[in-house]
Structures are given as C-alpha cells and as structure tokens.
Structure 1
Amino acid sequence: MSRRHPGRGRLTVAALLTALLTLPAALLAQGPAHAADYRYWSFWQQGKGGAWVYATQGPSIARPDDGDVEGFRFAVSANSGSAEKPRGAADFDAICADTPAKDGQKRVALVVDFGTPDDAPGGEQPPKRRTACARVDSDGTTADALAAVAKPLRYNSSALLCAISGYPKQGCGEQVSGKESGGKGDKSESAKDGDGDGGPSVGLLAGVAAIVALGAAAVWQARRRRG
C-alpha cells in the first residue's frame, strides 16, 4: 500500500483554483478578434510605378515636391492596412497639362475620390471622383494644395481632415456599426447590447467551462482521499 502525502490534495486543489481564477481573466484580456470600422478620409501618395502608398504624415505636415501626385479617399475601414485606395488613373502630366509651371511655386496633382454610396453617411450622396492641379508656394503643404482646389475643407479640433468640398456635411472619423459597414468590421452597436463580436466568444466560454469542470473534479478527488 502506498503512503499518502498529507497536503498533496490541498496543493492540487489550490493550484487548480488559482488557474480557475486567472485563466478566464487572461482570456478576457484578449478582447474582440476584430477591429472596429471607422468612416474617414484617408490620405495617399503616389509611389514608384504609379502605385498608391498610404501616407505616413498628415496633409497639414506633408510637403510634396513639384510634380507629385497625391490622393484622398473617403471610405469605411478599420486601419491603413484595409483602407480603400483612390480609384482611377492618376497621371501628373494629364492632370496638370493646363497648369504651367511658375517660379517660386510648385504644382501638385490631386485625386479626390468621394467613395461609394455604401460608405456615405445616412442621407448623403457622394460626389463624383475628381482631379485637380494645385499650384502653391514652394514650401506649401498638401493641405495648402487641397485648400487651393477643393474648398470648403473641414477639420476637427485634433486637425483631422473631416470634409473635402463640403463632403460629408457632418461627422468626422466616427465609428460605424456592423450594418453600416456591410459586416466588414465589428458590429459595434450589437456589442453595446451584449451581442455580436463584442461579446464572449464560443472558445472563451468553452475554456472557462473546462476549467470549472477540472476544478470541481479536483475538489471531489481530494474529499474522496480524505474519506
């Protein structure tokens, strides 16, 4: 007959109860699996070969060179990795063909894509995509170029670009619900109600249930040994 070690059952129970308390908290800390969607103007710069590259600076800081092509796209997306690029061809020579060079100034070709009706705020219709050649001082920013050809512009208190040529009339980088974003991101409205992506996942609930069952079995085994 093997010798029993007093306290071994208590140690096992204590360890499992610790896991019971800490593991669910760790799982909950992971948060929702999907990022939320936002409706906003994204800023792009044309790189080599005419490819659009998401700008690393805001339009009020970026200072393009003469001959650069820059674009803006209004859409619903979660981040720069999923943002929609400006559509259509964008060639400096074509856009600025009727805007001659001038000493002390530079020309910047701009593409303004107002997006699709699906991305528009409720009750608004996006204008057609447009291009324009802006001529600004040699040290001018992209915001200066945009202001020269696409007024009125609207910014919020954090200098986030909210509207180009008055579109949209309201809102600025607001989070949208899953219904508005076509199911591409989190259903933020459902999450507020405890449903959808904002609630606990099936995997999380299954993990918690498994730990609870394991802890109950350990308690039962410890009581059996003491009996």
Structure 2
Amino acid sequence: MHIDIISVVPGLLEGPFSHSILKRAEEKGIATVRVHNLRDYATGKQKQVDDYAFGGGAGMVLMAAPIAACIEALKQERDYDEILYMTPDGAPFSQPMANALSLKKNIMILCGHYKGVDERIRTQYITREISIGDYVLSGGELAAAVVADALIRLLPGVLNDETSALTDSFQDGLLAPPVYTRPAVWNGEAVPEVLLSGHTEHIANWRFEASVRRTQERRPDLYRKFEEGDENSTR
C-alpha cells in the first residue's frame, strides 16, 4: 500500500510513522507513507495557501489552486484508488470502513485546516470524506494518522501474528473481551479459571460471552446493532 498525505503543517506527521508497527511496515516494504507540504505547490513569494471566505466570517479557508496543483502532480506518479478528505462532517470512520480501505493499493489523504478547504476541491477531487469523531481538531493531520494506522495494521505481514487484527474490538461488531497475562494472581485478583484450562472451545465460548457482556454494558448502541444483525442472520 502507498499512502500520500497532503498537509499544510507536515511536521505534525513526523512522529506517528517513525515508530512501532508503522515503521516496521515500511521497513518490510509492505506500506509506504509520504507527507507532502502544501506550501510547496503554492505560487508567489509568500507561498500563500489560505484566504478569507467569500461572504465573510471568522477563519481562513485553504485555497483550491495549490491543493489542485499538488493532487495533479501526485496523480502523474500513480493511479489512486481513493482520495480521502479528513473533515468533521465526513462519514464516521469505522472498522468495516478500515477493512474495505485496507484492500486498496494507492490512497491519497487531504488534511483540512483552519475552516476547511474550498468546496470545489471536495466536489471535483475527493472520492470519500471521513471523520474520526464528533469533535473538531486543529487540522486533519492527526485524523489522517489514525486512518493510516488503522489501514496499515490490517495488511498481511505487518503484525507478527496476523490473526491478532481479526480479534480486535469491532471486527465482529463487539468489543474485545478482557485479557490477562502473568502472574495468574495479582493484587489479590485471579485470572478466570477457564483461561488457565487449556480447553480451546471453553476459552472461545468464555471470550465470546465476555465480549457480549462488555459491549452490552459499555456500548449499548453497538450491542443493539449486534443483536439486530444476529436476528437477521437467523431468519
């Protein structure tokens, strides 16, 4: 997978891709992430990338011309399966969306900033708009890092145990069950006996039931969706 990220403050993305799983993915040649400074595509002495909004109001808007110049330059290098725009009014990012996007080969991500980007960029270039939550960040850089991380960790060969991603929260519509490690008793609290039994089927049943309980308690909204899906599958 190749991911290009367009940002007006690329320094915000220096850290996330230089460590841990994302770094190993690049070292293995499984995924490549490149961050592009939008100002490199601006014209004029000041390298201006933002301007006031027509109609007035507070805040600046990223201009269409430098963004289009950057996108067009990148499109000369490869064909993109998706051009994403990180924005609070996009579709909520989810595990199923991450699963689908992880099957793509080339992805471009545009990071919004200030009051966003000129709407004509959205209508003419963007294929999918994504939000990571109902709140506003200073820009789309951190959101872009979240999306890139969620996709790359799903690629075959990135995780040491490829089944790990399949047992994450949300993969089956439920939260993950509690997990324990040594010692078996810590601070007076013991690990559930079934997890020490070595009985694969009993352990799987316990984990599923624990996932259901945890989802019901902590995310009743998810639990309702899980119940509805379970009912539909048995009809």
TM-score above 0.5, yes or no: no
TM-score (norm 2): 0.25
**Structure with bigger gyration radius:** 1
More relative contact order, 1 or 2 (CA 8 Å, 6+ apart)? 1
TM-score (norm 1): 0.26
User: Larger helix proportion, structure 1 or 2?
Assistant: 2
